[in-house]
Structure 1
Amino acid sequence: MNTYGKLTVRGANWLFFIVLVLQFGVSFAGILGVQIYSAVTGRELSEDTLLNILLVGTQLFSVVIPAMLYLMLKGISVRETIRFKTIKLLHVVLIAIMGIAGQFIAQILNLPILLLLSLLGEIPPSPIPIPHTLDGFIISLAIIAVTPAICEEILMRGIVMRAYEIRGTKTGLIISALLFGIIHGDIKNLIAPIFFGLIFGYFVLRTGSILAGMLGHLANNAFAVFLGYLQENYLVQLPFLESDLFFFLSFVVAVLIFIPAFILFRKTTSIEEKAPIAGMKQDLKAAFLNIPMIFTMVLYLILQVFAIMEIVNGLPL
Structure 2
Amino acid sequence: MDREKSPSILSVNILYLILAIILITAGALAQKQNIYIGILITEYILVLLPNIWFIKSKGLSLKNVLRLNKISIKESITIILITILSYPVIVFLQAIFIAILSIFREIDPTTAIPLPTDGLSFILGFLVIGVSPGICEEIMFRGTIMKAYERLGYKKSIIISAILFGMFHFTLLNFIGPTILGIIFGILVHKTNSIYGSIIGHTVNNTMALSIGYLVGKYESTIDDILQGGSTEVAGPSLIGVLLGIMIIGLCAYTVIILIRSLSSEKENNQMEMTELIISIDKTRTTHLLEYISIFLVIILFIVLNFNFVL
Q: Secondary structure of 1:238's match?
A: helix
- Structure 2 counterparts to residues 11-160 of structure 1, below 5 A: 11-27=11-27, 29-30=29-30, 34=33, 50-119=34-103, 120-160=105-145
For residue 171 of structure 1, what is the amino acid of its counterpart?
K
Instruction: Give 1:59 deviation, angstroms.
Output: 1.0
Moved more, 10-19 or 251-260: 251-260
Contact 1:27 1:58 survives alignment (8 Å): yes
1:39 match: none
2:305 match: 303
Instruction: Give 1:123 deviation, angstroms.
Output: 2.0
Long gaps (5+) in structure 1? 35-49, 279-284, 313-317
- Structure 2 counterparts to residues 262-277 of structure 1, below 5 A: 262-270=257-265, 271-272=268-269, 273=272, 274-275=275-276
2:157 match: 172
Instruction: Give 1:65 deviation, angstroms.
Output: 1.1
What are the Cα deviations for residues 52-98 of structure 1, in whole angstroms up to 9, with x where unaligned?
12211111122111111111111111111100111111211111111
Instruction: Give 1:265 deviation, angstroms.
Output: 3.7
**Alpha-carbon distance change, 90 to 3 in structure 1, aligned in 2, over 3 angstroms:** closer
Moved more, 292-301 or 206-215: 292-301
Q: Secondary structure of 1:175's match?
A: helix
Residue 254 of structure 2, aligned match among 251, 259, 278: 259
> How much identity, in percent, do the aligned residues show?
27
**Alpha-carbon distance change, 287 to 161 in structure 1, aligned in 2, over 3 angstroms:** farther
Instruction: Give 1:290 deviation, angstroms.
Output: 2.4
For residue 269 of structure 1, what is the amino acid of its counterpart?
S
Instruction: Give 1:116 deviation, angstroms.
Output: 2.9
Instruction: Give 1:138 deviation, angstroms.
Output: 0.8
- Structure 2 counterparts to residues 161-310 of structure 1, below 5 A: 161-239=146-224, 252-253=247-248, 255-270=250-265, 271-272=268-269, 273=272, 274-275=275-276, 290-305=292-307, 308=309
Instruction: Give 1:134 deviation, angstroms.
Output: 1.2
Q: Secondary structure of 1:290's match?
A: helix
Instruction: Give 1:141 deviation, angstroms.
Output: 0.6
Structure 1 length-normalised TM: 0.80
Structure 2 length-normalised TM: 0.82
What are the Cα deviations for residues 121-169 of structure 1, in whole angstroms up to 9, with x where unaligned?
2424121211111111111111111000000000000010110001111
Q: Secondary structure of 1:85's match?
A: coil
Moved more, 205-214 or 55-64: 55-64
Moved more, 189-198 or 20-29: 20-29
Q: Secondary structure of 2:136's match?
A: helix
For residue 267 of structure 1, what is the amino acid of its counterpart?
S
Contact 1:101 1:255 survives alignment (8 Å): no
Task: Please give the root-mean-square deviation of Cα atoms over the aligned residues, in Å.
Answer: 3.0
Measured in 2, the distance between the counterparts of 1:248 and 1:140 equals 35
For residue 101 of structure 1, what is the amino acid of its counterpart?
L
Instruction: Give 1:214 deviation, angstroms.
Output: 0.4
Measured in 2, the distance between the counterparts of 1:52 and 1:252 equals 38
Contact 1:109 1:192 survives alignment (8 Å): yes
Instruction: Give 1:277 deviation, angstroms.
Output: 5.8
Instruction: Give 1:112 deviation, angstroms.
Output: 3.3
What are the Cα deviations for residues 197-256 of structure 1, in whole angstroms up to 9, with x where unaligned?
110000000001000000111111101100000111112223468998699866644542
Measured in 2, the distance between the counterparts of 1:234 and 1:158 equals 39
Measured in 2, the distance between the counterparts of 1:3 and 1:80 equals 8
Measured in 2, the distance between the counterparts of 1:202 and 1:217 equals 13
Q: Secondary structure of 1:237's match?
A: helix
Q: Secondary structure of 2:222's match?
A: coil
**Alpha-carbon distance change, 286 to 183 in structure 1, aligned in 2, over 3 angstroms:** farther
Contact 1:105 1:251 survives alignment (8 Å): no
Contact 2:89 2:253 survives alignment (8 Å): no
Q: Secondary structure of 2:221's match?
A: coil
For residue 203 of structure 2, what is the amino acid of its counterpart?
L
For residue 293 of structure 1, what is the amino acid of its counterpart?
I
**Alpha-carbon distance change, 138 to 71 in structure 1, aligned in 2, over 3 angstroms:** same
